[in-house]
Amino acid sequence: MLSKEDNEFACRVGPGTPMGELFRRFWLPALLPSELPHADCPPVRLRLLGEDLVAFRDSNNKIGVVEAHCPHRGASLYFGRNEECGIRCVYHGWKFDVAGNCVDMPSEPPESNFKDKIHITSYPTALHGGLIWVYMGPAHLRAELPQLEWTRVSDSHRSVSKWFQETNYLQGYEGDIDSSHASFLHTYLNPADSPNEGTTIDPRLKKRDGAPRIVVNDTDYGFRYGARRTIGEGTYNWRVTQALLPTYSLIPFMRFPAGGRAWIPVDDHRTMTFYISYHPDRPLTDEDLAIRRTGRAFPPELIPGTFIPKRNMSNDYELDREIQRTVSYTGIWGVNDQDRAIQESMGPIYDRRKEHLGTSDLAIITARKRLLNLARELQQGIEPFPASHGDIYRVRAMDVNTPADNFDAMIASHANSLIAKV
């Protein structure tokens, strides 16, 4: 459990909050390139860490992320004209470039230098790993982009998706580092009926052990944890998940394509979730993409023209009680929708004083401690190490069967699976 004070500390991410300041020390994925597909395309609204912003791609293909409102009279720049290397407020014509400089002020006399005194907040951007990233921290502490393996492959080797989740970031992130729920939430009543694409342990074996032993190792980039299940006489399955600061995950897999997620706070109550599928050695095939589009796992089906999942709170995630009674544990279609249904059912910020955590929750406890400690250290002037050391993110997750009952030996024997050489 967390005290009321610690829960507030962990979940509040707006400007000036300790956790918000921690997130601002890292580059954060914010947009898909398809949202700003070409020069002078329409701007888009963006809300990140409790700030309302507008993103646009200028005539030179530079991407700007600026505060949402014109400093003249507060009109929204979302309604602005994206033209000739700047976004122009349609109220009185004030125009701003990607750096936030006012470059034209036609409502003032030509001899006026007033525009030279006006500047709006702007944030650096980068196109990295098939996503548009934003850095919102102090300029003199510019972070390094994280060199996750999926950011280093060619675009043809990678597929990215985005959707919104109606919870605080922590509820979603904690689901990614909770191995025991997979033996329940995502199962079929007859485990033999469970879809299995060969990238994870056979669902029938996973169902045999619903109380995995959790072993956690702290690392410079966050931590990794192994969930050990007994799947046979003297045989164990180890699912090793990578939890990378601030809120990235690499999901265990037996063969490529592999996947990972990023949980990026929109504000205290809403999260942008990015899912990435990739192969380090070859382009993704039509078969890979078809499985990804139609499989039970990722991504969710979206309402056309939005990043809102079709199965959501308003329609009870299309819960089918007959299917729940006869086929699957939940009666909800896909793994992602099952996760969101449960996490959103807790409310936007769950009161963690009411929790009763057990041995299977060790990774969740660790994640909370790491985030809380880093935010508190930052209050004391200690900068987060991984934010300025992007190369330490070059690791992999894994899902492996082994007779060894020794976590360190298992890690050593599969080092090439855990350390990405890209």
Residue pair 397/258 in contact (Cβ under 8 Å)? The answer is yes
What is residue 157's three-state secondary structure?
Answer: helix
Both 353 and 330 in one domain: the answer is yes
* Max intra-chain CA distance, the chain: 86
130, two tokens: 């098939």
341 in a domain, yes or no? yes
| Residue 15 is assigned to a structural domain of this protein | no
Report the chain's C-alpha Rg in angstroms. 23
- Burial of 67 from C-beta contacts in 10 A (0-12 / 13-18 / 19+): middle
Tell whether the torsion through CA atoms of 26, 30, 36 and 40 is positive or negative: negative
User: Which residue is associated with the tokens 């956690």?
Assistant: 216
User: What's 54's DSSP letter?
Assistant: E
Quote the tokens at residue 124: 């650096």
Q: In the prediction, which pLDDT does 24 show?
A: 98
Helix, strand, coil percent content, the chain, rounded in steps of 5: 30, 25, 45
Which phi and psi (to 5°) does residue 10 adopt?
A: -75, -35
Tell me, what CATH number does 71's domain have?
2.102.10.10
250 SS3 class: strand
Q: Six-digit token pair at 408? A: 């360190």
Domain carrying residue 94:
31-141
Asked if the structure places residue 316 within a domain, the reply is yes
E runs forming strands in 266-396: 271-278
* DSSP structural state of residue 300: -
CATH code, domain with 176: 3.90.380.10
* 71, two tokens: 């400093």
Give domain status of residue 13, yes or no: no
Backbone dihedral angles phi then psi of residue 278, each to the nearest 5 degrees: -155, 160
Provide the pLDDT for residue 233: 80
Based on the fold, state whether residues 325 and 233 are members of the same structural domain. yes
* Residues 162 and 127 reside in one and the same domain: no
Task: Establish if 106 belongs to a structural domain.
Answer: yes
Please name the residue that has the structure tokens 């024997």. 413
What's the gap between Cα 199 and its chain centre? 21
Query: H or E segment at 141?
Result: none
Phi (first) and psi of residue 340, to 5 degrees? -65, -40
Residues 235 and 281 in one domain: yes
H-state helical runs in 70-215: 149-152, 169-176, 203-206
Distance (Å, whole) CA 291 – CA 255: 14
Instruction: Concatenate the DSSP letters of all residues of 294-305 into one string.
Output: HSSSSS--B-TT
In a domain, 52, yes or no: yes
Q: In what order do the strands lie in the sheet with 125-128?
A: 27-31, 131-135, 125-128
Structure token pair of residue 313: 């709170």
367/186 Cα distance (integer angstroms): 23
Same domain (yes/no): 45, 185: no
How crowded is residue 310: how many other Cβ atoms within 10 Å of its Cβ? 15
Do 192 and 297 fall into the same domain? yes
Question: Do both 158 and 125 map to the same domain?
Answer: no
Domain finish residue from 108, 141, 174: 141
Give CA angle at 415 (409, 418), nearest 5°: 115
Distance CA 15, CA 49 (A): 7
Tens digit of each residue's pLDDT, the chain (422 residues) = 799 999 999 999 999 999 999 999 999 999 999 999 999 999 999 999 999 999 999 999 999 999 999 999 999 999 999 999 999 999 999 999 999 999 999 999 999 999 999 999 999 999 999 999 999 999 999 799 999 999 999 999 999 999 999 999 999 999 999 988 888 898 888 877 776 555 566 666 666 777 888 899 999 999 999 998 888 887 888 889 999 999 999 999 888 899 999 999 999 999 999 999 999 999 999 888 876 555 455 689 999 999 999 999 999 999 999 999 999 999 998 889 999 999 999 999 999 999 999 988 999 999 999 999 999 999 999 999 999 999 999 999 998 888 866 655 655 555 555 554 44
Whole-angstrom distance, CA of residue 128 vs CA of residue 125? 9
Q: Which of 103, 122, 141 is the last residue of a domain?
A: 141
Q: Is residue 10 part of a domain?
A: no
Domain count, the chain: 2
Residue 21 lies in a domain: no
Residues 191 and 106 in one domain: no
Q: Which two tokens stand for residue 46?
A: 């963006």
Give the per-residue pLDDT at 421: 45
For residue 275, which of 288, 291, 290, 258 has the smallest C-alpha distance?
Answer: 258
